[in-house]
Structure 1
Amino acid sequence: MSTHSVTLALPALYRSDDVLAFHARDAEGVSEQVAAGTGEARLRKAVVLAGVPVLLDVTLTPSEALCRIDANGELGEPALALAMDALRSTLALRIDPAPFADFVRDDPVFGPQVARQPGLRIVQSATVFEALTWAIIGQQINLPFAISLRRTFIEQAGRRHSSGLLCYPEAPDVARLDLDSLTTRKFSRAKAETLLRVARLAAEGKLPLCQLGDPERAAAALLAIKGIGPWTVNYTLLRGYAYADCSLHGDVAIRTAIGRLLGMADKPGIADTEAWLAAYRPHRTMAAAYLWASLNQLPD
């Protein structure tokens, strides 16, 4: 086992409760565990990086993230760089919300939203592969069922870290599964086939998934894969690549939020939503964050 420690400074208005809530969505905590306390909180997340089971163990204070990277094996420089990027992603440190806040300061829709929730951030997945597979798993089903399927997915393909947590798998781990291992556990055939298809393409080097890659090139490569549509691509760019201008016009929750904020009788259609969001280029990712958050707000 190898261990590396690093301290990351947290920006002003950092909303640690939001980050912890995101990682605590699965109450069974097979891959992530969250513990909140007075003055500090702890997040533990297990993931396979460059073939090595890794635990990201983070203690959050009001001003710093005290991070420990525990690997069940030696982490070379490339893998350590992946781990550092995974830390920034899981702590929502990759997209700066300030440019969007400045952009919408006088906007009648988003101005009040930002004033109510300053510093809102988007948590990224630890890896692009996690973002992509989560997008496939969660598409067109409710969140509790999606979380249940995600847990099953990790249990089927994940490797156990010495901490006891199961690691979110890499592509080669998933590529070794057969169809029945998913379809007999409540995955639709189409969803299972798409998961295995992208895993095998990635494992064979035919689908490069790098967080530092070109988002537009990644989008084109993903759209060429059977079973992958625009919503899955945009969600992957948002959670995996931290791309600042994702248009989630196909997302039902986004459309519902727009309808409510504009006082519409019903949510707008996909084409109208895309046109409306275009006004917020190049900040549509943060627009999505505030639209999602607005659904959880109580009226003034």
Structure 2
Amino acid sequence: MDFWQRYKAIDARDTRFDGQFFTAVSSTGIYCRPSCPARTPKAENVTFYETSAAAHEAGYRACKRCLPEAVPGTPAWNIRSDIAGRAMRLINDGVITREGVDGLARRLGYSARQLNRILSHELGAGPLSLARASRAQTARTLLVSTNMLLADVAFASGFNSVRQFNDTIGEVFAMTPTAVRATGAKSGPGRAAAPGTAPAALTLNLPYRDPFDPGIFDFLAVRAVPGIESAGTEPDGTRTYSRTLRLPRGTASFTVVYSPAVAGKPLRLTAAAVDLHDLPALLSRVRRLFDLDADPQAIDDALSLDPRLADRIAEVPGVRVPGAVDPQELLIRAMIGQQITVAAARTALTQLAVAGSPVEGASSGLDRLFPTSAELALNGRGLLRGPQRRIDSIVAAAEAMATGALDFGYGDDLESLKRKLLPLPGVGPWTVGYVAMRVLGAPDVFLAHDAAVRNGLKVLPAGIGLSADFREVSPWRSYATMHLWRAAAVKR
């Protein structure tokens, strides 16, 4: 978007662009989200920034009226496969907090100095400033949603000290942490513990852009592995999804609930048995799992231009592409699921789950973790069923991940993922594409040779003169794939 397109968006108070850019006003010294209800500033006083961190760096503070930190994240980090996009995915996952700027730079294949120069040029702020903005956003969420001790909020948000936390909150919001907490006293989703205590569970609202299709819960439900995941639907339309998972410092479990009857804030996360230092990573991975930073209206507008998809978009707006909370787990699931039905893959994964470690303190009915690569390498042959060549391929991939010979994750792009995965026996273009969709959130993957995609195509109107790979709707072909999968499922 150019300057005047963005200016038109803020003049219209268009909520679709909240989190996608920030409006700084020189006459007031503040920055806002695009939908801020304040009077539209004069164009000559406006500067647009890609990130809130860039606005901080330029000396602006957050608007107390529109709370620009309380918005969904930008979808650009999935659309962009350049260094800036890859870096932001890793920063949001807490890599700088755990490994520092040097660790982030190593993962991306650059020196820290080069990375700082690239991000400052592309995003208006260096990696430390971007990480600080991410921490401030997490801190605000915890302050307004829970009664956690302020010191616990500080460390759960990724700050190294309470003083650093207080200083950052003051600089970003021009308020003390206590004052920020007071802004959510009337509208928070419910306090998880009494004042002055550390909560056993945290319940937080999950912001997103409308529309939101809850069909993603169905996608996860039919693939849920008993003991590790559970999902359900209530008569009133409430959907739930729960699972256990490993995080950098320990294990955790979470439940996401979609309640359509709750106006304004129907999506909630409850996290249990989680190390406070792991909260930023957990929040980032849950948001990726449910594709909550997407811009569904823009995606649907583009997809509906294809006559094959127009009716599907009108019937089911806001379809999301499910992500992954663990890249290594997703690769194993993809390798097991290729060329067999979803039901058969779930059966195989249920048998394999026996190798996972038991976990205590998780949600009801969840008692295990998905097996690590080392556990799969050790026990996989005795638990997997099917052709020996397929078993050998899965175990070989597990061994490569367990030894570090295969290392991939949120900081990869599609090309690097191909270089790492295609040499593995039993891994082909379908597997790479599926992993790219779910681990990287790659928006432009079309799984042309997928059986369910082909079945979905049979349901759609004929696309006379249109490409078989849906290139007309690029860069949103991953969402086209989801619509075809859904069409195939409805047909059955």
TM-score range, shorter chain: 0.7 to 0.9
Matched residue SS, 2:312: helix
CA distance 1:181–1:92, shift in 2 (3 Å):
same
In terms of mean alpha carbon deviation, does 147-156 or 121-130 score higher? 121-130
Residue of structure 1 in register with 2:204 after alignment: 6
Q: CA deviation at 1:136?
A: 0.5
Matched residue SS, 1:48: strand
Cα separation, 1, equivalents of 2:200 and 2:379: 29
Is the 1:149–1:187 contact (alpha carbons within 8 Å) kept by the matching residues of 2?
Answer: no
Cα separation, 1, equivalents of 2:232 and 2:210: 22
Residue of structure 2 in register with 1:137 after alignment: 336
Matched, 1:279 2:472: yes
In terms of mean alpha carbon deviation, does 162-171 or 280-289 score higher? 162-171
Cα separation, 2, equivalents of 1:173 and 1:125: 20
Residue of structure 2 in register with 1:122 after alignment: 321
Within 5 Å, give how 1:46-57 maps onto structure 2.
46-50=244-248, 52-57=250-255
CA distance 1:244–1:194, shift in 2 (3 Å):
same
Is the 2:255–2:271 contact (alpha carbons within 8 Å) kept by the matching residues of 1?
Answer: yes
CA RMSD of aligned residues (A): 2.8
Cα separation, 1, equivalents of 2:380 and 2:456: 39
Q: How many pairs align? A: 283
Q: CA deviation at 1:40?
A: 4.2
Is the 2:453–2:484 contact (alpha carbons within 8 Å) kept by the matching residues of 1?
Answer: yes
Matched residue SS, 1:21: helix
Q: CA deviation at 1:90?
A: 3.0
Residue of structure 1 in register with 2:391 after alignment: 192
Residue of structure 2 in register with 1:221 after alignment: 420
Alignment-mate amino acid for residue 279 of structure 1: E
Q: 1:82 aligns with which of 263, 281, 296?
A: 281
CA distance 1:43–1:202, shift in 2 (3 Å):
same
Is the 2:308–2:462 contact (alpha carbons within 8 Å) kept by the matching residues of 1?
Answer: no
Is the 1:131–1:235 contact (alpha carbons within 8 Å) kept by the matching residues of 2?
Answer: no
**Deviation digits for residues 38-77 of structure 1, max 9, x if unmatched?**
47443211122337332012233332432232236x454x
Residue of structure 2 in register with 1:170 after alignment: 372
Cα separation, 1, equivalents of 2:336 and 2:444: 23
Matched residue SS, 2:379: coil
Cα separation, 1, equivalents of 2:239 and 2:232: 6
Is the 1:86–1:126 contact (alpha carbons within 8 Å) kept by the matching residues of 2?
Answer: yes
CA distance 1:256–1:52, shift in 2 (3 Å):
same
Matched residue SS, 1:34: strand
Residue of structure 2 in register with 1:250 after alignment: 449
Residue of structure 1 in register with 2:153 after alignment: none
Matched, 1:294 2:487: yes
Q: CA deviation at 1:239?
A: 1.7
Cα separation, 1, equivalents of 2:283 and 2:305: 36
Cα separation, 1, equivalents of 2:225 and 2:281: 26
Cα separation, 1, equivalents of 2:394 and 2:248: 19
Q: CA deviation at 1:3?
A: 5.0
Q: CA deviation at 1:2?
A: 7.0
**Deviation digits for residues 230-270 of structure 1, max 9, x if unmatched?**
00110111122211011201201112222442459xxxxxx
Residue of structure 2 in register with 1:23 after alignment: 220
Matched residue SS, 2:222: coil
Is the 1:20–1:43 contact (alpha carbons within 8 Å) kept by the matching residues of 2?
Answer: yes
Is the 1:31–1:168 contact (alpha carbons within 8 Å) kept by the matching residues of 2?
Answer: yes
Q: CA deviation at 1:26?
A: 5.4
Matched, 1:58 2:58: no
Is the 1:124–1:242 contact (alpha carbons within 8 Å) kept by the matching residues of 2?
Answer: yes
Q: CA deviation at 1:108?
A: 1.2
Cα separation, 2, equivalents of 1:188 and 1:50: 35
**Deviation digits for residues 250-298 of structure 1, max 9, x if unmatched?**
201112222442459xxxxxxxx98533333221101101111222446
Alignment-mate amino acid for residue 53 of structure 1: T
Cα separation, 2, equivalents of 1:71 and 1:194: 34
Alignment-mate amino acid for residue 335 of structure 2: I
Matched residue SS, 1:47: strand
Within 5 Å, give how 1:263-278 maps onto structure 2.
263=462, 275-278=468-471
Q: CA deviation at 1:4?
A: 4.9
Residue of structure 2 in register with 1:33 after alignment: 230
Give the share of equivalent positions with the same residue, in percent: 23
Q: CA deviation at 1:161?
A: 3.9
Higher relative contact order (CA 8 A, sep 6+): 1
Residue of structure 1 in register with 2:149 after alignment: none
Segments of 4+ in structure 1 off by > 6 A? none
Is the 1:95–1:242 contact (alpha carbons within 8 Å) kept by the matching residues of 2?
Answer: no
Q: CA deviation at 1:123?
A: 1.8
Alignment-mate amino acid for residue 181 of structure 1: L
Alignment-mate amino acid for residue 21 of structure 1: D
For structure 2, list consecutive stretches of 5 or more residues without a partner in the other structure: 1-198
Matched residue SS, 1:55: strand
CA distance 1:255–1:112, shift in 2 (3 Å):
same
TM-score by length of 1: 0.82
In terms of mean alpha carbon deviation, does 63-72 or 7-16 score higher? 63-72
Is the 1:51–1:170 contact (alpha carbons within 8 Å) kept by the matching residues of 2?
Answer: no
